[in-house]
Amino acid sequence: MDFSTMNAAEQAHMSKIIEKRQMQDFMRMYSSLVERCFNSCCNDFTSKALSSKEEQCVLNCTDKFLKHSERVGARFAEQNAEAMNAGNK
| Percent residues over pLDDT 70 in the chain | 97
Confidence (pLDDT) at 84: 86
Confidence (pLDDT) at 60: 97
Q: How far apart (Å, rounded) are the C-alpha atoms in residues 46 and 51?
A: 10
- CA-based torsion, 85, 12, 28, 68: positive or negative: positive
| Residues ≥6 apart with Cβ < 8 Å to 43 | 54
Written as one letter, the residue type at 4 is S
With cut-offs at 50, 70 and 90, classify the pLDDT of residue 50: very high
Q: How far apart (Å, rounded) are the C-alpha atoms in residues 75 and 86?
A: 16
With cut-offs at 50, 70 and 90, classify the pLDDT of residue 2: low
Q: Contact, 63 vs 56, CB < 8 A?
A: no
Stretch 61-86: mean pLDDT, rounded?
A: 92
In this predicted model, what pLDDT tens digit does every residue of 10-24 receive, in sequence order?
A: 889 999 999 999 999
Q: How far apart (Å, rounded) are the C-alpha atoms in residues 45 and 51?
A: 10
Confidence (pLDDT) at 87: 75
